Amino acid sequence: MHKKVLVCLPLNDAHRAALEASVPEFEFRFNALDDVHAEDVLWADVVLGNAPVSMIRQNKHIEWFQSNSAGPDAYLKPGVLPENCMVTNATGAYGLAISEWMLAMWLGIQKDMFLYRDRQNQRQWAPIDRPVRGITGARVLCVGMGDIGSNFARRAHMLGAEVVGVRRTVHPDTPCPDYCLRVVAQSQLDEELPEADLIALSLPGTPETNKLFNAERFARCKDGAILINVGRGTTVDSDALVEALRSGKIFGAGLDVTDPEPLPADHPLWGEPGAIITPHNSGKFSLPKTLDNIVDIFIHNLKRYAEGLPLDNQVDRTTRYAADQNGGRRLLSTL
């Protein structure tokens, strides 16, 4: 079997050599994301990397699209990819990088580090007159227990927190991870919110999750809870979050994603001292290991593709989740 594979990622020589050696009978082209041409996209049977949607849409024979992100939302819209094109995502690549970002954000907010940075910029020697918070014994509610949420839950547990996981659905025969007190279905979210000191969101952007955290849900939260969001900005009603921060209902919010995104310069979230915002870069390739993981995942699936085996990390175009389906499975950070 001879297939043409386009790779649109900033790879090094070792990455390229590993890809070419994985299935020698395949033909490869390598382009950086900012140097992808329509001719290359049209040439390919398989694409690794988030090439421009406008170009991908023109390829009517593409057989498999491997996203370099966990949420390839733009590529799942009708008409972008052929109906019979397999779509896989990068689940398993980002758990390490993003869970470490979440830990850094959580500690920074709890210990007032960001407020002290503000005072340093103003050359103020001014202690903050209130007790800081601890991690040991804190209740952490991980809303989303995919690769990212599970990685963070495991790390929070190791630091002494009590972790409760929230999944879209919970199967009775699925054992609870040893790093969680329990894992509940999303339908039970409201029952868990009043006890949560930290709410960590790592959800995809779907109609089901749109504005999941609105004014009504913030009202159910424990007074002074902290919110972290690394999934999609649409999960949180930004106006409701502003009000929750101003009232003190939410003590602080660490946001790597916002709605809208990019966040306009005049949006009130920018002015909230309790909101710490980064430009959707907790993942990407800021940690070099992430790119290694993406290449490993692709090589893993590329060999299966060449052998006619089901691909892992297949994305359901309706739910937008990677799941065990069509003979494949959902990968975790093991590669």
Residues serving a catalytic function are 232, 261, 280
Question: Could you tell me how many residues make up the chain?
Answer: 335
DSSP secondary structure letter of residue 193: G
What is the number of other CB atoms lying within 10 angstroms of the CB of residue 320?
A: 21
Rounded to an integer, what distance in angstroms lies between the CA atom of residue 89 and that of residue 330? 10
Which residues is 183 bridged to in the sheet? Answer: 165
Q: Give the tokens for residue 104.
A: 């850094």
Nearby residues of 122 by Cβ (< 8 Å), 6 or more positions away:
none
Strands in 131-281 per DSSP E? 139-143, 162-167, 182-185, 198-201, 225-229, 250-255, 275-277
Strand 4-8 versus strand 27-31 pairing type: parallel
CA distance 297 to 142: 25
- For 15, the 3-state DSSP assignment is helix
What is the token pair recorded at 188? Answer: 């039970």
DSSP E strands in the chain: the ranges are 4-8, 27-31, 46-48, 64-66, 86-88, 139-143, 162-167, 182-185, 198-201, 225-229, 250-255, 275-277
Greatest pairwise CA separation for the chain in angstroms: 69
